[in-house]
Amino acid sequence: MKKKKMLLSQETMDIDMVRKVEALSGTSVRRCFQCGKCSAGCPMATFMDHPPNRIVRLLQLGQWQRILAGRSIWYCVSCETCSTRCPNQVHLASIMDALRKLSWDQDGPSKESYVQLANRLFLENIRTYGRQYEMRLAAVFNVKSGQFLKDMLLGPKLLSKGKLKVFHQKNKNMAEVEKIFSRIEEMRRKGEAL
């Protein structure tokens, strides 16, 4: 994020987007009273520019652009500690999911591309094979992220232990799997789903 100061104003405030976050996550950001328990227990808070409680505060103020400009949402590991410990039933882990979805829709894979790339390849594998194909997931990730040598020493070891399956059979019900993906795409095109 650039060191540009973002002031709180009508210009940077977007309440519609906050409503989308609330609808997607099924949780209300207004319930948060900033006790900070989420940030205290978050294993990833040290890696983030905005700690979890500040993410909610920024949402309360309609400043979601500022969240998307930062990296916090791509460092959340979905451990559910925040949702568990919140005294006001704010499901912050679900809010993080909603923010990642909206960021993905808005900016595509441009930001924090390694995490997005991993997510996208994971979903592609489901659409193509029905189940995860771990060998392909790791190999394609390394090629597409340009890290050809990443974890290279692990590969042969995992193969010898039978932990990587070189060949992978597609599910028999692939037509049904494809329909789930295409129906969701169609619902989104028609504006029936976020």
Partner 1 sequence: MTALRYSYYPGCSLHASASEYDLSTREVFASLGIGLEEIPDWICCGATPAHNVDELLSLSLSAKNLELAEQVPGDMAVACASCFSRLKFAQHILAENETKRKLVEKAIDAPVHLERRVKHLLEILVRDYGLEQLATAVKKPLSDLTVACYYGCLLTRPTDVPNLDCTEAPTIMEQVMEAVGAQTVAWTHRLECCGANFTLSRPPVVQQLSNGVLESAKTAGADCIVVACPLCHGNLDIRQKEIEGVYETSYGLPIFYLTQLVGLALGVPQERLGLDALIVSPQRLLRDKKIN
Nearer to partner 1 by C-beta: 4 or 161?
A: 161
**Least gap, CB of 47 to partner 1 (angstroms):** 7
> 164 with 193: CB under 8 angstroms?
no
Among the listed residues 1, 19, 122, 156, the single contact to partner 1 using CB under 8 A? 122
Residues near 171 by beta carbon (within 8 Å), at least 6 away in sequence: 129, 130, 131, 177
Q: Is 6 in the site for partner 1 (CB under 8 A)?
A: no
Segment 87-116, which members bind partner 1 (CB under 8 A)? 91, 93-94, 97-98, 100-101, 104, 114-116
In the list 17, 83, 90, 148, the residue contacting partner 1 (rule: CB under 8 A) is: 83
CB closer to partner 1, 4 vs 172: 172
Query: Residue 134 is inside which H or E element, if any?
Result: helix 134-144
How far apart are the C-alpha atoms of 155 and 150, rounded to whole Å?
A: 10
Phi-psi region of 188 (alpha: psi -120 to 50; beta: other; left: phi over 0): alpha
Number of neighbours of residue 93 by Cβ within 10 angstroms: 21
Is residue 171 a contact residue for partner 1 (CB under 8 A)?
Answer: yes
Only segment of 29-37, 52-60, 61-69, 164-172 that touches partner 1 (CB under 8 A)? 164-172
